[in-house]
Amino acid sequence: MKVLPINSVNTHYEFTTTIADVVLNIRIDYNSRASTWYIEIYDEFETLLVGSKALVIGYNIFNNVDMEGLPDGTLFTMNFLDDYANPTADNLGTDVLIMFEASA
């Protein structure tokens, strides 16, 4: 299992990470009007793989995405203090993490 390097210090940030030998560019934005974090995932050539999905606790971010180039597995958000509470403006990267679990 891999934990993505995230935080809620900035309401917009980008980083590059490798998941299951796949290089991904990830952009995370906080929408204060909707009180929701959104994620976009691009491959190393900046091809959009996952577009603007809300970070929802327990939901597979790769769900309903049939895009070549994504690692084989599940990318999900987990809250370690409240099983049902979605990430807030200030707990992403502390109480709430984004984790990848490879398929068996």
Q: What is the pLDDT of residue 104?
A: 78
pLDDT over 90 for what percent of the chain? 79
pLDDT at 19 (0 to 100): 93
Domain boundaries, the chain: 2-102
Q: For 30-74, write each residue's pLDDT tens digit.
A: 999 999 999 999 999 999 999 999 999 989 999 888 778 899 999
Cα–Cα distance, 24 to 88 (Å, whole number):
24
* Whole-number average pLDDT of the chain: 92
Burial class (CB in 10 A: 0-12, 13-18, 19+), 55: buried
More confident site: 8 or 99: 99
